[in-house]
Amino acid sequence: MMKKKWLNYLPTIFIICIIVSLMMYSSSSTSENLNFTQFEKKAEKVEFKDSSITIESTIIQVEGTYKTNDKVTAFKAIIPNTDKNIEWLEETLSKDGGQITVTNPDANKVWVSMLAQMIPFLIIAVVFYLMMAKMGGGSNAKAFEFAKSRARMENDVKVRFKDVAGCEEEKEEVKEIIDYLKTPKRFTDMGAHIPKGVLMVGPPGTGKTLLAKAVAGEANVPFFSISGSDFVEMFVGTGASRVRDMFKNAQKNAPCIVFIDEIDAVGRQRGAGMGGGNDEREQTLNQLLVEMDGMTDNTGIVVIAATNRPDVLDPALLRSGRFDRQITVNLPDVKGRKEILGVHARNKKLASDVNLENLAKRTPGFSGADLANVLNEGAILAVRNRKNFITMNDLDEAIDRVMMGPAKKSKKYTEKDKMLVSYHEAGHAVIGLKLPDADAVQKVTIIPRGEAGGYNLMMPREERMFPTKKAFLAQITGLLGGRVAEEIIFGQDAVSAGASNDIEKLTKIAKNMVRVYGMSTLGPIQYADPQGNVFLGRDYTQGGNYSAGVAEEIDKEVRNIVDSCKKQCRQILEDNRELLDLIAKSLYEYETLTSEEILNLMNYGTIENPNVQKVEEVIVEPEQELPPIPAGVDQKDLDDAMNELTKKKDA
């Protein structure tokens, strides 16, 4: 590394040498050059100081200084080499007490000749070296670094627990690790051993990496981070060598945290899959197993790994003594989403109409990364519209963008297609309004987004931890609302392909009800296919665990569920045909309806609530003390006059 840094300064050093040489040359050329005639004339008028004489075969080189009018000037002169001139020079240069130095002319010629011979070879060597370095000739030096660990170390992690929201239980699980890294003696005195490894499992974007960094930040210890894919290379033994080097560096900086992201890339089950596994990856995994709990004692090193595929990990990696704890980081609930929005809204300029609690209720199923993206998209939209604050409309549009993509307002429907999409989305909305267990309608639009011609934003009325059979059936019925509405209005032969995504979702739900959850007449038996893929580390010899007869029964049960939901959906839409037409026509006209507007259409038949009237602002003047009644004026006459004046004013 030091050699590389020195080479980077080589062009600068070369340029500096050239500049210094030019300066020396320019400074040396400031002396006065005299021929023999000029030197003779000068010798009569000036006073010579110290001089040097170089006697060559035909000429005499004279260098020195002379003084005229208190001014000293350097000079050079060339004089023919004769005995007479040598005597004259000695007499002239020493007449005023000047010192004369005689130099050997051959002394400089030796060095000059040597440099003249060496410079071409030096130039060729430098050019050759630079060419080889450009062509990769220095790659042999990198061979010794190829087996080094790619883990990046952070000594001062700024992330703290206050920056991680929506996972309070997960924080509690890792607090012991922080205490151990700060004061390990408390645990050793009690005979306790801190977990050597913590495996964080959860969907993408739930904050597994952020939580691991917060542990290092709270404990104020070095944080080594590496991805599972950084271990394995095409060269045999590289991965195992990098694992050894990583733990060696961690041992030097103990206590510390080693974070391995996407550990399933290197920790998949050994000896499974097509071809019996991967030898290089398995060697890397074996070395990782040894380092975590083998012949070496890595005191003070806590390994934290993250994955969203724990089903493919090798059992030896998950056993106690290696990954002692498995922490599941789930998607946040409504309370967690509000806290996450509060964390990401710290540096955002929010308008007064923004309510983070309402925003959290409108984003079920969103991960922490999705919520951060919603606020960021809202900020971008506010800047694009040249606003000073992020409004609720910006965040509403941001939610739509994150879920479905940007609106394609330039895409124009034909009148027939626009009416078909309107009835399709109105069918979903009517089911959401009239079916008690269906999701609540939040927003309906026929503006295309992504691959969808329109969409319904429907949210659960309440977040359930365990969905029921009734809720699944209501969800299937809601997904059928668009297709059934098309059949009722336009006929069986005029249905469109716009319900393909709805059909895909409801089919998956119906199959899971029968094969996974046991919600059919086949009973509480699981008929699901083996979870996993042979190319992801699973055994390819496993097949379906039911017969062909059972498969036929499963298909019948799935069909019965969908048919019964479709029948119920048709009944609801036919009973509420007027509401279906009203919502469809309003969508055709306004293109987007909010939940309040849809409720107004259902209750009052109009977009706006007719019972809500604008109340004029009444300005009440503060009471003032009235002047006293003049003498001789009757109070009754005064009251009658005031009442009469009030009547005229009201009229």
Amino acid, single-letter form, for residue 1: M
Is residue 208 annotated as involved in ligand binding?
yes
Q: Within a 10 A sphere around the Cβ of 76, how many other Cβ atoms?
A: 15
Name residue 49's amino acid: K
Query: What is the Cα–Cα distance from 528 to 514, expressed in whole angstroms?
Result: 9
Q: What is the CA radius of gyration of the chain?
A: 45
Phi-psi group of 609: left, alpha or beta (phi > 0 → left; psi -120 to 50 → alpha; rest → beta):
beta
DSSP assignment string, 1-67: -HHHHHHHTHHHHHHHHHHHHHHHHHHHTTSEEE-HHHHHHHHHH-EEEEEEEEE-SSEEEEEEEEE
Note the residue count of the chain. Answer: 651
Residue type, 358: N
How do strand 71-80 and strand 440-445 relate by DSSP bridges? Answer: unpaired
Contact 509, 475 (CB under 8 A): yes
Tell me if 273 is assigned to a ligand binding site: no
Q: How far is the C-alpha of 44 from the C-alpha of 40, rounded, in Å?
A: 7
Which residue in the list 425, 557, 591, 597 is annotated as catalytic?
425
- 203 labeled binding residue: yes
The half-sphere exposure of 560 on its side-chain side, counting CA atoms within 13 A, is 12
Our answer to whether residue 397 is catalytic in this structure is no
Distance CA 37, CA 17 (A): 38
The enclosing H or E element of 67 equals strand 59-68
Is 556 known as a binding-site position? no
If one counts every other C-beta atom within 10 angstroms of the C-beta of residue 51, the result is: 20
205 in a known ligand binding site: yes
Residue with tokens 């699944």: 472
Has 632 been labeled as part of a binding site?
A: no
- Consult the annotation and say whether 206 binds a ligand: yes
> 71-80 and 59-68: which strand pairing?
antiparallel
- DSSP-H helix ranges across 164-207: 168-182, 184-190
Q: How far apart are CA 372 and CA 366, in angstroms?
A: 10
Q: What are the binding residues?
A: 202-209, 424, 428, 502
Binding residue ranges for Zn(2+): 424, 428, 502
Residues with catalytic roles: 425
- Binding residues for ATP, by number, are 202-209
